[in-house]
Amino acid sequence: MNLPISRRTLVTSAAATATLLGVAPARAAGGARPAFLHGVASGDPLPDGVLLWTRVTPVPDATPGSGRGPDTPVTWEVSEDSGFGRVVATGTVTATAASDHTVKADVRGLRPATGYFYRFRAGDAVSPTARTRTAPAPDATPDGLRFGVVSCANWESGHFSAYRHLAARRDLDAVLHLGDYIYEYRSGEYPAAKYVVRKHEPEHEIVTLADYRVRHGRYKTDPDLQAMHHALPMVAIWDDHEFADNAWEGGATNHTPGTEGDWKVRMAAAKQAYFEWMPVRPSVAGTTYRRLRFGRLADLHLLDLRSFRSQQARTGAGTVDGASRTLAGRVQLDWLKEGLAASDTTWRFVGNPVMMSPVAFGALPAHLLRPLAKLLGLPAEGITVNTDQWDGYTHDRHELLEHLTGRGIRNTVFLTGDIHMAWANDVPAKAATYPLSRSVATEFVVTSVTADNLDDTLHVHPHTVSLPAVAAVKAANRHVKWVDMDSHGYGVLDVTAERAQMDYYVLSDKRDPAATSSWKRSYRTTSGTQRVERVKSPVG
């Protein structure tokens, strides 16, 4: 685990991060000189290696999605020092138009639990220097681990200040991104045009491979996003907006076959662009479900809950309990169950795109019920089914929770994004009789980086109207220990052998590029308890 150097949150940028490392970012010059305009990134740390990523712009008109530009050799270097006086690994890959001039290097032969510096070269152009870190050795017993946790970053809804604040910390091992890294909408659709902070590129809804590449490229120009990638390795999974809203195996709410083409073609294009532009190592072709280990302290089971799911249930259809309907797919669900049962680590974390815990509504006025139902994926009339999340696929959930109970699997923690709110939940075996019935796992849900939540939807000052909604949800769901419906920010998960604690941080204003960050709440689960409890201060 990295020792903390500073707990202050700094207003920085990608350039400031590079300055901190002692290397200034390369800039395009001299016409056709190659340039690294989209930063660098690392991801999926292993005990002996890490995945490195960048995109080179070989000539000025070789923009993302253009299909233009020559093949370009790109050299990567990994060093023990920021001055690259102790290079421990190097190699060359070729950037081509076929991969949108993105490149990856799956570097091996590194030492466990070690920080490294890396960079890329193309001709005389040099990328920014960035930091990364390997995972602990498989049988190591680290004193602790610490991860930043984020989800739901809509470009048009605000600035990515949460990423800047995570980049400024010196105590994190990695960042876990739980999905909706990009959004697919046309400009002015979500949020409405008058609330747009900055416009998407392209401005139309993304459908083709070129469209998805352009949108990913736009995101990778954000200075705060670059700063985070330059400071920390990322472990990422996708949710629906990497494809289209409420995506399932055969379609999406935000996809019209008659005008937007074949869904399988669109999904294949979205997946290709994702794997080109993200520092993700797919373990199963075309999906993001995979498993990472962090010594004997924790393993991380990462899910893909869009590629194999059945279509979301319709309101009143009465099909949410059907055994033929699936969220994870048979193969992935068996893989998860087997991995949890075979785990020999203290903690079993599940990177979970949509909320596991059940949600029912108590009495709510219509002006609160409608926007809250929209955020949660519930029918507007308040039927207690969250159809886009595990609530809409109760057979899969029951099978998984029965597996945890029957096999005596303890210390399972679901880490969740998607719904633009922060939650701390027990996961009950039977919600209707909780707390008389047992809790079999726990769940920490992080809010959105920028995507709209309740106060944004109602266009009111934060926390002025959400209190009755919070009270109603908690009254009807006694396993919900806390929910914040209005804030934007990120989480920091701190793990020791004794407990796993989520510290929730909130931003002062997502529309302000210099937004400050402050601690809001902390919850933890103690080893062996399967319950969450409030903690009065963050770790450190």
Mean pLDDT of 131-142: 98
Cα 381 from Cα 366, distance rounded (Å) = 9
Tell me the average pLDDT across 28-54.
89
Tokens of 13: 């940028």
Structure confidence at residue 154 (pLDDT): 98
User: What's the pLDDT at 463?
Assistant: 84
Band the pLDDT of 316: cuts 50, 70, 90: low
- Is pLDDT above 50 for 287? yes
- What lies within 8 Å, CB to CB, of 418 at 6+ separation is 151, 152, 178, 179, 180, 239, 353, 354, 355, 389, 445
Q: Which two tokens stand for residue 92?
A: 């060359």
Give the mean model confidence (pLDDT) for residues 4-23: 33
- Does 18 or 430 have the greater pLDDT score? 430
Strand bridging mode 125-126 / 115-122 = antiparallel
Statement: residue 11 has pLDDT above 60: no
pLDDT recorded at residue 362:
65
Average pLDDT over residues 284-303: 94
Q: Is the pTM of this model over 0.85?
A: yes
Q: What is the C-alpha to C-alpha distance for residues 165 and 168, in angstroms, rounded to an integer?
A: 5
pLDDT value, residue 5: 30
Nearest to 413 by CA among 340, 469, 358: 340
| Average pLDDT over every residue of 488-497 | 98
pLDDT at 465: 82
**Does the pLDDT value for residue 540 go beyond 90?**
no
Residue 27 has pLDDT above 90, yes or no: no
Residue 12 pLDDT exceeds 60 = no
CATH for 137-535, options being 3.40.190.80, 3.60.21.70, 2.170.8.10, 3.50.50.60: 3.60.21.70
pLDDT in tens, 187-199: 999 999 999 999 9
- Residue range 492-520: average pLDDT? 98
Residues in the chain: 540
Average pLDDT over the chain, rounded to whole?
A: 90
- In this structure, the number of other CB atoms found within 10 A of the CB of residue 29 comes to 9
Q: Identify the pLDDT of residue 517.
A: 98
Q: What are 399-409's pLDDT values in tens digits?
A: 999 999 999 99
Query: What is residue 462's three-state secondary structure?
Result: coil
Closest listed residue to residue 535, CA positions, set 511, 501, 505: 501
Percent of the chain residues topping a pLDDT of 90: 79
The residue behind tokens 């490392």 is 21
Task: Say if residues 392 and 385 touch (Cβ distance below 8 Å).
Answer: yes
Lowest mean pLDDT among 45-49, 96-100, 175-179, 367-371: 367-371
Q: Contact 22/83 with Cβ under 8 angstroms?
A: yes
For the ranges 47-61, 271-285, 391-405, 437-451, the lowest mean pLDDT is seen at 271-285
What integer pLDDT is reported at residue 474 of this predicted model? 92
Q: What integer pLDDT is reported at residue 448 of this predicted model?
A: 98
Cα first-last separation, the chain: 14
For 244, the token pair is 């289209």
Residue 174: phi and psi, rounded to 5, are -170, 170
DSSP single-letter state for residue 205: P
pLDDT of 258: 87
pLDDT of residue 377: 62
**If pLDDT is split at 50, 70 and 90, which confidence band does 171 have?**
very high
Tell me the C-alpha distance between 428 and 407, whole Å.
16
Taking the C-alpha atoms of residue 95 and residue 107, their distance in angstroms, rounded to an integer, is 17
Nearest to 392 by CA among 492, 261, 294, 253: 253
Identify the CATH homologous superfamily for domain 32-135: Purple acid phosphatase-like, N-terminal (2.60.40.380)
Residue 488 in contact with residue 450, Cβ under 8 Å?
yes
Q: Which pLDDT does position 460 carry in this prediction?
A: 87
Q: Is residue 161 over pLDDT 50?
A: yes
pLDDT, residue 466, reads 86
What pLDDT is attached to residue 382? 42
Q: CA 26 to CA 509: how far, in whole Å?
A: 31
Whether residue 36 has pLDDT greater than 60: yes
**What token pair was written down for 521?**
């709440």
In the chain, pLDDT over 70 holds for what percent of residues?
89
33 exposed, middle or buried (CB, 10 Å; 0-12, 13-18, 19+)?
Answer: middle
Domain ranges of the chain: 32-135, 137-535
Nearest to 180 by CA among 301, 305, 52: 305
CA–CA gap between residue 122 and residue 150 (Å, rounded)? 32
For residue 29, pLDDT beyond 50:
no
Residue pair 2/171 in contact (Cβ under 8 Å)? The answer is: yes
Q: Kindly report which listed range (4-8, 251-255, 370-374) carries the lowest average pLDDT score.
A: 4-8
Please report which confidence band the pLDDT of residue 431 belongs to, taking 50, 70 and 90 as the band edges.
confident
C-beta neighbour count of 183 within 10 angstroms: 25
DSSP count for the chain of H helices, then E strands: 11, 22
For residue 467, the model assigns a pLDDT of 87
Nearest Cα to Cα of residue 295 among 107, 145, 177, 131: 145
pLDDT at 89 over 50: yes
Across 73-77, average pLDDT: 98
